[in-house]
């Protein structure tokens, strides 16, 4: 897919205020610092597209970018933990869960995972939430340039093992990416193209 146009449309925290168009939507989400803005800019070949909407005050919003006038790339806020007494509790803000539970245009979520790290509890919890909510999703491993090929393979194998241990019968489709090297760009855009054509 060639990206001809990529424009920022709107930021908001209410699903009802998201663009009212029947275009397919692909949402990008992950822990903060996972490389989401870099990936969005790499995919769209726009150096500052994601940063534009990451102005202070806008980081905690649902950001809609219209691509080639025929699909939306949706940049969602990172998720985190709340301290509840001595325990930590995963918190997915209400408007984010609203988005996943109500947004009819949503076709697929991309969950970003830093390939260098062992499976993080909060990511596994989020993936479980998506599964329970029956949201189709793929995994995008980020920052692949930071480790060698054999480490990439062993980390992915370890991740698969973790998912299987978390009751996943099969592994979702995944992509290995590096925003600094452009790795994975063609594969992700081809995947989106394929789904849009179905
Ligand atoms: P966000 O908070 O998820 O939007 O993360 P950013 O895109 O702002 O990236 C966080 C940090 O990781 C920045 O310092 C980026 O330069 C760095 N980073 C992001 N993606 C990559 C990548 O593919 N390779 C390398 N080496 N660094 C990356």
| Ligand 1 site, residue 133, Cβ cutoff 6 A | no
Per-residue confidence (pLDDT) for residue 57, from 0 to 100: 45
Ligand 1 site, residue 51, Cβ cutoff 6 A:
no
How deeply is 47 buried, as exposed, middle or buried, from its count of CB atoms within 10 A (0-12, 13-18, 19+)? Answer: exposed
10-residue mean pLDDT profile of the chain (198 residues): values are 95 93 96 92 93 55 95 90 62 86 97 95 91 96 97 95 87 95 98 94
CA quadruple 31, 96, 179, 163: dihedral, nearest 10? 60
Torsion of CA 13, 38, 127, 161, to 10 degrees: -170
Q: Which two tokens stand for residue 114?
A: 């830093």
pLDDT value at residue 82: 61
Q: What is the DSSP letter of 146?
A: G
Measured in Å, residue 85 CA sits from the centre of ligand 1 at 32
Residue 1 lies in a domain: no
- Ligand 1: does its nearest atom lie under 6 Å from the Cβ of 178? yes
Q: How far is the CA of 191 from the centre of ligand 1 (A)?
A: 22
Which residue has the CA at smallest separation from atom 24 of ligand 1? Answer: 143
Contact indicator for 99, 106 with CB cutoff of 8 Å: yes
Domain that holds residue 45: 6-197
Atom of ligand 1 at shortest range from CA of 144: 23
Q: Is residue 183 part of a domain?
A: yes
Closest CA to 118 of 150, 159, 174, 88: 159
The rounded Å distance from CA 136 to ligand 1 centre is 25
The 10s digit of each residue's pLDDT in 96-146 is 999 999 999 999 999 999 999 999 988 998 999 999 999 999 999 999 999
Question: In the chain, how many domains are there?
Answer: 1
Whether 145 is in the pocket of ligand 1, judged by its Cβ within 6 Å, is yes
Distances (CA, A) of 134 to 101, 106, 131, 137: 9, 12, 5, 9
Residue 159 lies in a domain: yes
Residue 188's pLDDT is 98
| pLDDT for position 88 | 60
* Number of residues written out for the chain: 198
pLDDT for the residue numbered 58: 46
Assigned domain for 49 exists: yes
pLDDT at 102: 96
Ligand 1 mean position, distance from CA 69 (Å): 27
Q: Is the ipTM of this complex over 0.90?
A: yes
The answer to whether residue 184 sits within a structural domain is yes
How far is CA 70 from each of CA 21, 24, 103, 155, 196, rounded to the nearest angstrom?
10, 8, 17, 35, 9
**Ligand 1 probe mutation, 52, 146, 179, most atoms within 8 A of CB:** 179
Contact 171, 160 (CB under 8 A): yes
Query: What CATH number should be reported for the domain holding residue 191?
Result: 3.40.50.300
* Token pair recorded at residue 56: 């202070």
pLDDT at residue 85 in the model = 64
Whether residue 137 is contained in a domain is answered as: yes
In a domain, 52, yes or no: yes
Beta-carbon contacts of 68 under 8 Å, excluding residues fewer than 6 positions away, are: 1, 3, 4, 5, 6
């Amino acid at each position: 897919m060639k990206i001809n146009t990529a424009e920022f449309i709107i930021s908001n925290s209410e699903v009802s205020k998201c663009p009212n168009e029947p275009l397919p939507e692909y949402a990008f989400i992950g822990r903060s610092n996972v490389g989401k803005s870099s990936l969005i800019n790499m995919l769209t070949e726009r150096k500052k597209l994601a940063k534009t909407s990451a102005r202070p005050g806008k980081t905690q919003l649902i950001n809609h970018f219209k691509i080639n006038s025929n699909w939306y790339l949706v940049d969602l806020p990172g998720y985190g933990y709340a301290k509840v007494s001595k325990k930590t509790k995963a918190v997915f803000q209400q408007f984010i869960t609203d988005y996943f539970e109500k947004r009819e245009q949503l076709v697929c979520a991309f969950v970003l995972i830093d390939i260098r790290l062992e499976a993080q509890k909060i990511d596994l919890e989020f993936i479980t939430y998506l599964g329970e909510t029956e949201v189709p999703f793929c995994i995008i491993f980020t920052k692949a340039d930071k480790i060698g090929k054999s480490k990439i393979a062993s980390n992915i194998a370890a991740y698969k093992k973790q998912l299987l241990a978390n009751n996943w019968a099969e592994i979702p489709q995944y992509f290995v990416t590096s925003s600094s090297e452009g790795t994975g760009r063609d594969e992700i855009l081809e995947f989106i193209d394929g789904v849009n054509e179905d």
